[in-house]
Structure 1
Amino acid sequence: MPQATDNAFFDRADAHIELANRQLGDSDNPGTVAASMTFAATRFSTWVSARGFKSGEEMAAARDAMLTYFCDQYRLMLEDNLDDHIARFDQYMSGQHPVE
């Protein structure tokens, strides 16, 4: 997985996951909560990226590079989490978390 940018990286991620877990109680379909979380992540990342440009035209010129960067980052993080859940499937599915 990519290097965490600061000490609070996982704390922030855990806070988002905690919110999503609370929202599961309001939903019959966990996939809808996951879809909302993914949408929020893409919307926020787009907004953060837009702040670095002076115009829509400048941002449009960097669109393909941004898509590549964010898709690559998502894939790396997804691969890491998939591998982790595969390796610790019984622990995670029984509610036990491995010692880090």
Structure 2
Amino acid sequence: MSKSDAIEQEKQSQLYDLVDALVELANQATDKALDPGEAHQAMMYATARYGAFIVAASSESKEDYEQDKLDARNFYMDQFRQLLNENFDDYLANFDQYLDSD
């Protein structure tokens, strides 16, 4: 394995660790006060807020931000749609295993 492959593999590992930590945080919130739908809403809001921050922080000016936000919004929506479809398909294929159904 090349050094760049090892770095990419480490980044992927860190990404999935972060995903697991965020899902665990949402699960903890549902154990305390929120129902799963409310926890999901909070995660979507956080994702939208962070996405807007990333675009704003990478823009050189307010005018650039205004120009960049449409392309970024389309990118984020396409990405979310793709990830949602992949996860729906994954749950369909593994429904009994993931939900421990009999």
Same fold (TM > 0.5): yes
- For 1:1-100, what aligned pairs fall within 5 Å after superposition? 6-7=11-12, 8-27=14-33, 29-94=35-100
Whichever of the two has the greater Rg, that structure is 2
- Structure 1 consecutive aligned stretches of length 4 or more whose deviation exceeds 4 Å: none
Q: Is the 2:26–2:39 contact (alpha carbons within 8 Å) kept by the matching residues of 1?
A: yes
Matched residue of 2:51: which SS?
helix
Higher relative contact order (CA 8 A, sep 6+): 1
Please tell me the root mean square deviation across aligned C-alpha atoms, in Å: 1.9
Gaps of 5+ in 1: 96-100
Which is richer in helix?
Answer: 2
Q: Normalising by the residue count of structure 2, what TM-score does the alignment of the two structures yield?
A: 0.82
Q: Normalising by the residue count of structure 1, what TM-score does the alignment of the two structures yield?
A: 0.83
Distance 1:28 1:39, change over 3 A: closer
Amino acid of the structure 1 residue aligned with 2:90: D
Q: Is the 1:27–1:33 contact (alpha carbons within 8 Å) kept by the matching residues of 2?
A: no
Give me the identity figure in percent: 29
Gaps of 5+ in 2: 1-8
